[in-house]
Chains A and B, each alone.
Chain A
Amino acid sequence: MDASSRQLAEYWPRIDALIAAAKEDPALRDRLQYGTPEQKLAALEKVGLSFEDLVHIHKELETIVYQGSLRFWWW
């Protein structure tokens, strides 16, 4: 596992918890997506993520989002 993967592995449980919570709670989801910076940080802090953590995980999240296509051809 490279350094980047290790870093994400460390943070992933908290990101995962955040996703799970926001998925079930439309108000939290709205604050996270469309809230003020303060509201967003408060939502993140609930799962133990600080602003400094975000700076660390930002690049790794980009790697997941922009990695190669997951599409496959059914036929």
Chain B
Amino acid sequence: MVVGGRPALDAKARPTAAVTHLKLAEDSRAAALLARLDSSYFQLVDRLPPRLGLLARQGSTYTGIQAGEAFGGVSAMNPGITGTPWLFWEPVQCLEDGVFLQLALGGSLVVLASVLLDHIVDGQAVRQGEMVLLHQALHEEGTARLRACLAADSGFWGDFERLGAEHVAGLAAELSARSEPEQLTLDAFCAMVPFKFSPIAITMAAFCHALGQPGLLAPIELSIKHLAVASQLLDDMGDWEEDLQAGHLTYYLTQLAPPAAWQATDWPAASELQQRIDADWLDIHTTEMVLLWLERSLACVSGLPCSAWKAYLDGYCALARQHLERYGARHILRAIEPLVGSPEA
């Protein structure tokens, strides 16, 4: 993968919107269903014990950022997390509204519960006790919704158990890797990260079984899991300074210093790590890996009609290419500044 092929650079282009928002035609059935999903979530929240209901209405509960903003609803999340039925709209749109909504809500609640579990396990959760209870409430309610649509002998439940177990295994592997940095190899990272996205695949497993097309799940699940690796790499690369400050070890950080450096009481300084990035162009090499995993994700669904999912992945590709351009430009700029006598040199 190279930076090339894009002679004109629009400095104002912001491809981030393509990976953070669903684009639905107003007045469409899809938009109406999404609005009903949000409304169902808040109705459910109203029935929770007050302290949990309050927590479920705060954006920080799911984002982990203490910004004081209200939660905008399931539709406000990144569509790759809770909007998969809309991203895979073509194969699932034949389900009638009631079933569609029940499955989408059930899947969303299970995914939201898994997001809370991620925050609890990595120590981001502020109110641990309440978060554990809300996790349990969302998971149980989500499972109940899925049970209402999928019979006990449906093959879905095998996938549900498998994907749930993968999520737990992924989180456990991440915990181990943080205390034993030498374990955080590229192979270990690529095996662990897809499991963190397994709950997202539960929603699509439910839809595939409800459609009577369980064979659809394999390419969709693999595509979601390849995206997991790409997005985690991109995220960790963008956040490396914050992760360093928070003592949150990531695979990207382990590429910037040897394992012993992460076992010491004092971690390396940011300036030291930046020098390593600059010397070896690790930002460029890592972004190329992101593009490779995105291509794999797209290849998994090449034979499936799922235009919104493909457009969503294309949005990620555009974002990764924009990162590549910026990193490349920064390296060249650093090199030429002393020559052109820039004051920043």
Contact = CB atoms under 8 A, between A and B. Distances in A.
Does chain A bind chain B? yes
Nearest to A15: B332
B4 A20 contact: yes
Contacts of B20: 72-73
A72 B281 contact: no
A33 B64 contact: no
A39 to B, nearest CB: 10
B242 to A, nearest CB: 10
Contact of B19 (A22, A32, A72): A72
Interface in A27-75: 29-30, 32-33, 37, 40-41, 44, 51, 54-55, 58, 60-65, 67-68, 70-75
B238 interface: yes
A1 B8 contact: yes
Interface in B316-345: 319, 322-323, 325-326, 328-340, 342
Nearest to B59: A75
Among A44, A60, A73, A75, chain B packs the most CB atoms within 10 A around the CB of A75
A5 B10 contact: yes
A75 B62 contact: yes
A24 B336 CA distance: 19
A45 B35 CA distance: 58
A70 B339 CA distance: 28
B162 to A, nearest CB: 24
Contacts of A65: 326, 329-330, 333
B326 A40 contact: no
B284 A70 contact: no
B208 interface: no
Nearest to A75: B63
A51 B326 CA distance: 21
A41 B340 CA distance: 11
Contact of A19 (B3, B12, B239): B3
Contacts of B81: 74-75
B278 interface: yes
B281 A23 contact: yes
A61 B2 CA distance: 18
A20 B284 CA distance: 10
B129 interface: no
A68 to B, nearest CB: 7
Contacts of A17: 4
A64 B325 CA distance: 8
A33 B63 contact: no
27 contacts: A5-B8, A6-B8, A9-B8, A9-B9, A12-B7, A12-B8, A15-B329, A15-B332, A16-B3, A16-B328, A20-B3, A23-B281, A33-B334, A37-B338, A40-B335, A58-B336, A61-B333, A63-B11, A64-B329, A65-B326, A65-B329, A67-B11, A67-B12, A70-B16, A73-B63, A75-B77, A75-B78
Q: Which 6 A-B pairs have the closest CB atoms?
A: A19-B328, A64-B329, A72-B16, A9-B8, A16-B4, A9-B7
